[in-house]
């Protein structure tokens, strides 16, 4: 099968995801548009979490049909989101095994960059592992990506989807979340969320180090129930000192719904405090 034939089959399973604007409007084309993958015929759509930053979601299929979408769950750490639609005549993508791909293999990316629906680019697998945007593993490729490719499929030479295109790393490498991470999200559900907005800062005083400053807390969220406040400085998780936001994210990924003990500092106090947070799973948080 030629690359053109593989690309056409991928296009039939690739959608436009628009949030906060109507499909076809000038604003919709310029703002809030990304890509998505028809994951199964029941109406499950996979995309990136950063694509769905609004509850006002619209899906446009290859044949021009549009429908509303509902956010089912998302994983902010992995940058994945699962949407659901009620629509017939869906052609799901053929799913591949991301653990079997090797450096140097041909890959094909399809998406909707810069308003060009169904654009195709090719490249090779450059490597695997964390990139400069986080600690999670990405498939790193030379396939050219642009704004609007986010959430679209990365496939092998036979058209099997092995990843979800997510970002562009320094140096121009394309980054894709492995397809196996989608399966994990579907089976295990979203990881626990603390319900806070954080910013890494230097810890004052002897010893220094890095802490996470609480900028806001979600009302009714786990941090709010545990009485963490804006201005608190998180310094450790389960007795292990934090070195950055990724440490907290990895602890939340491993915990998945249990309890987490947070070490923190409050105000100008020199001594540390500790609180046990009861985490909860929230498919839309």
Q: Which residues are catalytic?
A: 50, 79, 150
Residue 221 backbone class (left: φ over 0; alpha: ψ -120 to 50; beta: rest): beta
Cβ within 8 Å of residue 278, ≥6 positions away:
222, 225, 226, 259
Check: CB of residue 185 under 8 Å from CB of residue 82. yes
Angstrom distance (rounded) from CA 44 to CA 256: 23
Nearest Cα residue to 149 out of 114, 108, 98, 107 = 114
Calpha distance 7→278 (Å, rounded): 46
Q: How many helices (H) and strands (E) does the chain have?
A: 5, 18
DSSP result, 181-226: HHHHHHHH-PPPB--EEEEEEEPPSTT--EEEEEEEE-TTSHHHHT
For 24-57, the DSSP string reads: TSHHHHHSSEEEEEEEETTTEEEE-GGG--SS-E
Q: Using CA atoms, how far apart are residues 100 and 163, in angstroms rounded to an integer?
A: 12
Residue 61 burial (CB count, 10 A) = 20
């Amino acid at each position: 099968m030629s690359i053109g034939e593989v690309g056409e089959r991928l296009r039939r399973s690739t959608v436009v995801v628009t949030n906060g604007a109507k499909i076809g409007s000038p604003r919709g084309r310029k703002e809030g548009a990304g890509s998505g993958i028809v994951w199964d015929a029941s109406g499950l759509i996979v995309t990136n979490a950063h694509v769905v930053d609004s509850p006002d979601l619209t899906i446009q299929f290859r044949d021009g049909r549009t429908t509303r979408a509902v956010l089912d769950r998302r994983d902010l750490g992995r940058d994945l989101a699962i949407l659901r639609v009620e629509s017939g005549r869906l052609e799901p993508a053929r799913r591949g095994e991301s653990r079997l791909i090797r450096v140097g293999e041909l890959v094909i990316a399809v998406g909707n960059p810069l308003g060009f629906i169904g654009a195709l680019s090719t490249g090779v697998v450059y490597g695997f592992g964390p990139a400069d945007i986080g600690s999670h593993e990405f498939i790193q490729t030379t396939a050219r990506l642009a704004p609007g490719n986010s959430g679209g499929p990365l496939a092998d030479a036979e058209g099997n989807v092995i990843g979800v295109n997510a970002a562009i790393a320094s140096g121009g490498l394309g980054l894709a979340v492995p397809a196996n991470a989608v399966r994990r999200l579907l089976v295990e559900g979203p990881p626990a969320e603390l319900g806070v907005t954080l910013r890494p800062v230097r810890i004052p005083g002897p010893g220094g180090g890095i802490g996470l400053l609480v900028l806001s807390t979600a009302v009714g969220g786990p941090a709010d129930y545990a009485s963490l406040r804006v201005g608190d400085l998180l310094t450790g998780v389960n007795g292990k000192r934090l070195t950055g936001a990724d440490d907290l994210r990895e602890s939340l990924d491993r915990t998945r719904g249990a309890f987490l003990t947070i070490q923190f500092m409050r105000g100008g106090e020199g001594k540390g405090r500790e609180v046990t947070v009861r985490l909860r799973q929230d498919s839309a948080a």
